[in-house]
Each structure stands twice: as C-alpha cells, then as structure tokens.
Amino acid sequence: MHVRTSFRAVALLAAAGLSAATLTTAAHADDTKAAGDPARSGAAAPARAAAAPGDIVSSEPSAFHPLPGQPTHTKAWKIHYRSTTAKGTPNTVSGTVIVPQDGRTGPRPLITYAVGTVGVGDHCAPSAGFPRGTTLEANLIQQLTLRGWAVAVTDYEGLGTPGDHTYTVGRAAGHAVLDAARAAIRLPGAGLSKDSPVGIMGYSQGGQASSWAAELHGSYAPDLDVKGTATGGVPGDLMKVADFNDGSYGSGLVFMAAIGQNAAFPELKLESYLNATGRSLIGALRNSCVADGAVLGSFKKIRDVTTENPLEQADWQQRLRESQVGTRAPDAPVYLYHALADELIPYGVGRQVRTDWCARGANVEWHTIPLGEHVSGVITQSPLATQWLANRFADKPVRGNC
C-alpha cells in the first residue's frame, strides 16, 4: 500500500513539471562544470559586490527545449544575476532568459516565472534541464513563448549556486523572481526594455515565490511595470503545510523545507535536532531532486528523524511565520487558484491567502478548482491563467471577486 502510494506521489509530482527529470545520477557532470564557472564558484561575486539587484554577473548561450531536441524558435541564455537574501544581503542567483525569435519589434511582454518544487540538489535547477529537454515544466512555459512573450526563470537562491537552496523561504524567493525580470531587461541581446510589461507566474513552490514577488513589488522593485500575478497552489502557511504532510507521502517536502530554512537562517542549527536517521536522510536530500527525494522522505514523521521537534521551538516557528503569504497586499491584480482536493497543500491554506489579501484591499480574482488535486490544478489552470495575463497586457478590465 505504501509503496504504491509513494510511486503515485512521484508520478503526480513529475506529471506537470513540478519535478525535474534530472535525477542525482543524471547530472553530476553539470556539478563538475561549476568548478570552471566563476559565478557558480563565487569567484565573480567580489567584483560585483556593489552591483544593484538585477544586474547581470555573467551570461552565456543556452537552449530551451521542452522535450529533448524539440525546436522552439527561441533564443536562451543562462544568467547569473545579483539579488538579495532574506536577511537583506547581496547574493548571486542563476536563471534562464528565453526570448522568441519571431521578428517582433517594440516592447515585448515579459513573464518572470517561478517553477514548482524541483528538489534541492544543484543539478535539479531549471537552467540545468532546459538545454537537455528534461525540465518538464518547460511544457507550461512554452505556452508563454508561443504567445511571443519573453520568459525569465529563476533557479532560486542556492539552486545551481554555492550553498544549500533556500527552499520555502518566501522573501528570498520573491527577491529572486523580481530580480530575474530586472536581469532579463538588462541582458544585452534580449531586446527587452524598462517599458516591457511584466507578468509574474508560479505554482506550488512557485506559488509561494510568485506571491511574495507580488507582495514585494512596490517596495523592492517598483521599476518593473508589473501588470499582474497568476499564482496557485500557494503554501501560504508553512506550519499548517508541515503539519498536514508530516508522516504522509508528502513528508519529504517538509524535510526539504527544513534544509531551506536552515540555509537562510543557519542559526536555526538544524543538524543539532537530527538523530542518525535524520542526518542520513538530510544528507541524501541535499543531493536529490524532488522525484527521488519524495521517495526518500515519504511516510516519515518529524519525530522519526529528530531528537527534538524543531517546529516546536520558538525560533523555528518565527522563521516559518516570516514566510507567510498574505501579510501585505499586492499592488497589481492577482489571479489566484487552488484545487479543492489538493493533497499536498490544503485548500484552506490557499483560501486563507485570498481572505487575507482581500482584507487588505488587493484586487483578487479567486478560482476554486472543484475536480482534481495538486498537480492537475496547474495543468488545468495554466491556460486560463495565461489568458488572464494576456488580458492584463492588453489593459482589459479586471474582474476581482473578493
């Protein structure tokens, strides 16, 4: 029973591109390349310490393939760019910029796209999979490039760059999403400009990241002409999501989140809470993508891998609260959706984001997905969310339903 369910979890996570097909054994070659990559090794950072958020640290030609070898009539670059940690210090983040080669002139819409959970191993980063056609969420991103829109896809902090990935740390993710858009606009050869209208899009982990980007836009990146945000499956309350998944087939995500929080806030001292089983599991997850990580962590309770539950400690609780979505209103319209039967992020958590944003005066168009679960939610809603963003770029009226 448990074996069948865990394989179902992997299939669900992989089906809509919420996992990377690049597993641990498939891409250590990408990790070895890092030694010769000054931005990834950190060697380029001192020369750019005074750079502004969104400035390009390095760029190189890449490729965008939803499937291996599939042509897309696009030009792509892998970039490293300046961003900001959750604590407000400068960092370097990697990502990809994709521009359709369609002869378009004039301002081209730009989507800054936040992918769902791919894992915490460097080789799981979207930028590593795009050239090989193994980042399955590329199929959703292609819907955007087929409309003639440019797309910036952040790898997030620590995913493909030194240090652990700060998975589920909302402020760091929001910064990375916004700065990816700035970097795309500043990238020579991309053909974008400060007049390019910007949309924000993401689901699941990307739902948290895109929601944080929407909330931070006015204070952190007001130079971006953000027209709207399409976000779904939002893990708006990490404590509730952790409690919901503890001991289930989604429990591996809880342990990945512990790695991420500890990466951003090392004073939390995750290692001090782990027993031998926990140290082995966390060590394995640090080099895993979501598919293998889901199997490694499934059906384990926090008490099985710790000597003391860190989520019962005040400092951990405070840091998780700091990543809550809904504490400030986005300054541009939002398309927000959640599956009623979401088995990884409870529907009530997503609905609470809507309640909180509406209470703060945000312009929210909310959609409940009556049939389906977590992964099918993004599959069925992605075309509708994309059309909603097209309407924002066309300056059509917004029909909020708070």
Question: How many domains, in total, are found in the chain?
Answer: 1
Task: Please report which helix (H) or strand (E) contains residue 113, including its range.
Answer: strand 110-114
pLDDT of residue 247: 95
Distance CA 259, CA 123 (A): 16
325 is a domain residue: yes
pLDDT of residue 37: 41
pLDDT of residue 106: 80
The rounded Cα 265 to chain-centroid distance in angstroms is: 19
CATH code where residue 140 lies:
3.40.50.1820
pLDDT of residue 92: 97
Distance CA 286, CA 120 (A): 6
Two structure tokens written together for 194: 């400060």
Question: Of 44 and 294, which is predicted with more confidence?
Answer: 294
pLDDT of residue 294: 84
294 is a domain residue: no
Two structure tokens written together for 402: 């708070």
Range of the domain at 80: 6-237+321-393
The full DSSP string for 25-92 is GG-HHHHHHGGG-HHHHTTTTGGGTTPPTT-EEEEEEE---SSTT---SEEEEEEEEEEE-TTS-EEE
The model's pLDDT over 276-311, given as tens digits with 9 standing for 90+, comes to 999 999 999 999 999 898 889 999 999 999 999 999
**Contact partners, residue 99, CB within 8 Å, separation at least 6:** 74, 75, 76, 108, 150, 190, 191, 192
pLDDT band at 219; cut points 50, 70, 90: very high
Distance CA 137, CA 140 (A): 5
285 is a domain residue: no
pLDDT reading at 275 higher than 60:
yes
78 is a domain residue: yes
Beta strand segments in 259-397, E: 334-339, 364-369
pLDDT average, residue stretch 169-197: 97
**Contact partners, residue 204, CB within 8 Å, separation at least 6:** 18, 116, 117, 232, 233, 235, 344, 345, 374, 378
The model's pLDDT over 223-240, given as tens digits with 9 standing for 90+, comes to 999 999 999 999 999 999
pLDDT band at 136; cut points 50, 70, 90: confident
Identify the DSSP state of 396.
P
Tell me how crowded residue 74 is: count the other CB atoms within 10 A of its CB: 20
In order of 133, 135, 257, 375, the CA distances from 22 in angstroms are 10, 8, 20, 19
The region of weakest confidence among 21-30, 98-107, 229-238, 269-278 is 21-30
Two structure tokens written together for 215: 């909330």
The model's pLDDT over 372-397, given as tens digits with 9 standing for 90+, comes to 899 999 999 999 999 999 999 999 99
Q: What is the mean pLDDT of the chain?
A: 89
- Rg of the chain, C-alpha, whole Å: 19
315 is a domain residue: no
- Are 96 and 128 a contacting pair, CB within 8 Å? no
pLDDT of residue 105: 82
- Are 236 and 284 a contacting pair, CB within 8 Å? no
Distance CA 150, CA 196 (A): 10
Q: Strand order in 110-114's β-sheet?
A: 56-62, 74-84, 90-100, 150-154, 110-114, 197-203, 225-232, 334-339, 364-369
354 is a domain residue: yes
pLDDT reading at 46 higher than 80:
no
**Contact partners, residue 46, CB within 8 Å, separation at least 6:** none
293 is a domain residue: no
283 is a domain residue: no
Supply φ then ψ for residue 314, to 5 degrees: -60, -40
The model's pLDDT over 305-354, given as tens digits with 9 standing for 90+, comes to 999 999 999 999 999 999 999 999 999 999 999 999 999 999 999 999 99
In order of 146, 246, 284, 331, the CA distances from 311 in angstroms are 44, 11, 21, 32
